[in-house]
Structure 1
Amino acid sequence: MGANLMSLLSPERLQTRALSLADAALVETFLNLCSQHDLGEDWCEAGDLKRDWQQPSFSIAESTHALFAGEQLVAYADLWDMQPSYVRAFGNLAVHPTWRGRGIEDHLMTWLIETSKRNLARAPQQARVTLVMGADSRLNDLCAIYERHGLRHVRSYYQMRLEMKAPPPAPTLPEGITVRTFVKGQDDRAVFEALDEAFQDHYGHISGQFEVFEHHMLNGPLSDFSMWYLAMAGDQIAGMCLCSKYIPEDRELGWIEDLAVRRPYRKQGLGLALLQIAFGEFYRRGYRKVGLGVDAQNLTGALRLYERAGMRPERTWLRYELVLREGEELATQTLTAY
Structure 2
Amino acid sequence: MDDLPAGLTTRPLSLADAPEVAALIGAEKAAALGYPEITTADLVADWQRPSFDPATGTVGVFEERRLVGYAAYTGSGNCDVAVDPGRHGQGIGTALARWCQERARADGAVRVGMQVPQGSAADRFMERHGYRLRWTAWDLELPASAQLDAASVPAGFHVREAAPDDYDDVWQVMEDAFLEWSDRARASREDFLARTVQRPGFEPSHLRVIADAEGTVVGAAYAILEEGTGNVERLAVRATHRRRGLARALLADTFATLREQGAARSTLATDSRTGALPVYEHLGMRIVSTWVNRAIELSPVPPGI
Q: TM-score range, shorter-chain basis?
A: 0.7 to 0.9
Separation in 2, partners of 1:68, 1:227: 37
* CA-to-aligned-CA distance 1:243-272 (integer Å, 9 cap, x gap): 2213xxxx2221112111111111111111
1:274 aligns with 2:285: no
Aligned equivalent of 1:189 = 168
1:169 aligned to which of 149, 155, 173 = 149
* CA-to-aligned-CA distance 1:9-61 (integer Å, 9 cap, x gap): 4xx52222343444333333333333344433235334543453332132223
1:210 aligned to which of 183, 189, 205 = 189
Using the TM superposition, give the Cα deviation of residue 307 of structure 1 relative to its aligned residue in structure 2, in angstroms.
Answer: 1.8
Using the TM superposition, give the Cα deviation of residue 316 of structure 1 relative to its aligned residue in structure 2, in angstroms.
Answer: 1.0
1:134 aligns with 2:115: yes
1:70 aligned to which of 64, 68, 82 = 64
2:52 aligned to which of 47, 58, 62 = 58
* CA-to-aligned-CA distance 1:67-124 (integer Å, 9 cap, x gap): 222222222111111xxxxxx221111222222212221111111111211122xx7x
Structure 1's unaligned 5+ residue stretches are 82-87, 124-128, 327-338
1:93 aligns with 2:76: no
Separation in 1, partners of 2:287, 2:173: 27
Aligned equivalent of 2:263 = 287
1:27 aligns with 2:21: yes
Separation in 1, partners of 2:56, 2:42: 19
Separation in 1, partners of 2:298, 2:96: 17
Aligned equivalent of 1:324 = 298
Look up the equivalent residue of 2:180 and give its one-letter code.
D
Look up the equivalent residue of 1:42 and give its one-letter code.
P
* Structure with the greater alpha carbon radius of gyration: 1
Separation in 1, partners of 2:254, 2:131: 38
Are the aligned partners of 2:115 and 2:292 in contact in 1 as well (CA < 8 Å)?
Answer: yes
Look up the equivalent residue of 1:229 and give its one-letter code.
R
1:264 aligned to which of 231, 235, 240 = 240
Look up the equivalent residue of 2:43 and give its one-letter code.
L
Aligned equivalent of 2:303 = none
Using the TM superposition, give the Cα deviation of residue 153 of structure 1 relative to its aligned residue in structure 2, in angstroms.
Answer: 0.8
Separation in 2, partners of 1:152, 1:143: 10
Separation in 1, partners of 2:37, 2:57: 19
* CA-to-aligned-CA distance 1:313-334 (integer Å, 9 cap, x gap): 11111111222269xxxxxxxx
Normalised by the length of structure 2, the TM-score is 0.87
Aligned equivalent of 2:104 = 116
Separation in 2, partners of 1:48, 1:270: 28
Separation in 2, partners of 1:39, 1:237: 37
Instruction: Report sequence identity in percent.
Output: 29
Separation in 2, partners of 1:325, 1:165: 51
What SS does structure 2 have at the residue aligned with 1:201? coil
What CA RMSD, in Å, does the superposition of the two structures yield over aligned residues? 2.4
What SS does structure 1 have at the residue aligned with 2:149? coil
Are the aligned partners of 1:224 and 1:243 in contact in 2 as well (CA < 8 Å)?
Answer: no
- Identify if the C-alpha distance between structure 1 residues 182 and 134 changes in structure 2 by more than 3 Å, giving closer, same or farther: same
* CA-to-aligned-CA distance 1:146-190 (integer Å, 9 cap, x gap): 123321111001111101137542432223212221112x11112
Using the TM superposition, give the Cα deviation of residue 242 of structure 1 relative to its aligned residue in structure 2, in angstroms.
Answer: 2.1
